[in-house]
């Protein structure tokens, strides 16, 4: 009889928790769209096993709230969260990069010419010549070549960060649009093999500084449309994913949930408050240093990333989580 009573107590407690959550969701659904986007329900499991649902305002999040949201969201890393967008007819943006007859060349001078000791003329150095290809969306593409074959110049050309002294001919398009029609640096991230930071900054400060440079991007508009369509279709969003998406769209915060999320998935949370250092004073390891460089672009939510071989050590799970 005691066992049966315990089972019934657990069932009634679970039913009460579900009822409490439903009441909070009903109250949130009655709010206007933009008010609804900054309010969510945070699920917490207490020490005694009870589940507590707390209504939170994402404009007033504390650091401990960020960690709870991340822990709840990372429990479902194997699930395809894109399904929440597809069920209301929203497709995530995909980018196809095409390059046609791409050629890169520059001027090379002899050493004596540079020193003004010889009147020798400059020589044209061809880096790439008539390169054609397509980078398909949602795929990882690997470019291979011997040393000094133009791999770095090629990646810089695709990301719009090539040196102005080099001459480029041919055509590069993102989904049919030329570089003159948009800002490629907001869409594509070129991650250099050189790590340049201020040695006195800690890891978290570097990622926060990089994140605030571009803001929340298109996430706010996408979340507003998602929230509107879910309300019209009568769909109740997944609580953990809903909280994570709303928290990452808050503007003007010095330290964002996006920073904590990237620190977690890149394994940098253990050194988040440590100075980066430099060659004379090494504070973090070389591997962590490379991950910091990658993280500075991931917090900007770039759609494409061009990485050098030094950054390819990142575990596949990290890349999948970032996507």
* Secondary structure E strands in 187-319: 188-191, 304-307
Mean pLDDT of 44-69: 70
The DSSP symbol for 199 reads T
pLDDT for res 103: 92
Bridge partner list, 134: 98
Lowest mean pLDDT among 43-47, 96-100, 174-178: 43-47
Lowest mean pLDDT among 89-103, 138-152, 245-259, 272-286: 245-259
pLDDT for res 312: 44
The ranges assigned to domains in the chain are 97-186, 203-322
Whole-prediction pTM: 0.64
148: how many CB neighbours lie within 10 A of its CB?
8
Mean pLDDT of 57-63: 73
Instruction: State the sign of the Cα–Cα–Cα–Cα dihedral 195, 197, 202, 207.
Output: negative
Give CA–CA dist 137/93, Å, rounded: 9
pLDDT for res 260: 82
pLDDT for res 30: 74
Give backbone dihedrals phi and psi of 128, rounded to 5 degrees, phi first: -135, 150
């Amino acid at each position: 009889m005691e066992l049966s009573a315990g089972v019934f107590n657990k069932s009634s407690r679970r039913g009460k928790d579900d009822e409490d959550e439903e009441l909070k969701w009903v109250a949130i659904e009655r709010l206007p769209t933009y008010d609804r986007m900054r309010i969510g329900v945070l699920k917490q499991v207490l020490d005694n096993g009870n589940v507590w649902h707390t209504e939170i305002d994402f404009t007033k999040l504390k650091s401990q709230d960020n960690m709870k949201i991340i822990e709840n969201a990372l429990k479902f890393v194997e699930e395809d969260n894109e399904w929440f967008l597809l069920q209301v007819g929203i497709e995530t943006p995909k980018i196809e990069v095409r390059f046609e007859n791409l050629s890169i060349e520059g001027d090379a001078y002899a050493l004596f010419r540079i020193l003004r000791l010889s009147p020798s003329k400059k020589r044209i150095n061809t880096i790439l010549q008539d390169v054609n290809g397509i980078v398909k969306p949602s795929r990882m593409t690997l470019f291979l070549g011997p040393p000094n074959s133009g791999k770095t110049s090629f990646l810089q050309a695709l990301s719009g960060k090539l040196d102005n002294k080099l001459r480029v001919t041919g055509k590069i398009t993102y989904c049919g649009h030329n570089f003159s029609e948009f800002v490629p640096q907001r869409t594509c991230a070129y991650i250099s093999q050189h790590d340049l930071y201020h040695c006195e900054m800690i890891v978290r400060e570097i990622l926060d500084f990089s994140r605030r440079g571009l803001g929340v991007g298109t996430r706010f508009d996408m979340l507003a449309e998602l929230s509107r369509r879910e309300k019209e279709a009568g769909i109740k969003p997944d609580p953990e994913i809903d909280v994570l998406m709303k928290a990452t769209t808050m503007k003007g915060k010095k330290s964002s949930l996006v920073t904590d999320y990237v620190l977690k998935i890149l394994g940098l949370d253990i050194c988040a408050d440590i100075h980066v250092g430099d060659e004379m004073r090494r504070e973090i390891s070389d591997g962590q240093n490379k991950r910091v460089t990658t993280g500075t672009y991931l917090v900007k939510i770039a759609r494409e990333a061009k990485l050098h071989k030094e950054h390819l050590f990142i575990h596949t799970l990290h890349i999948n989580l970032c996507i």
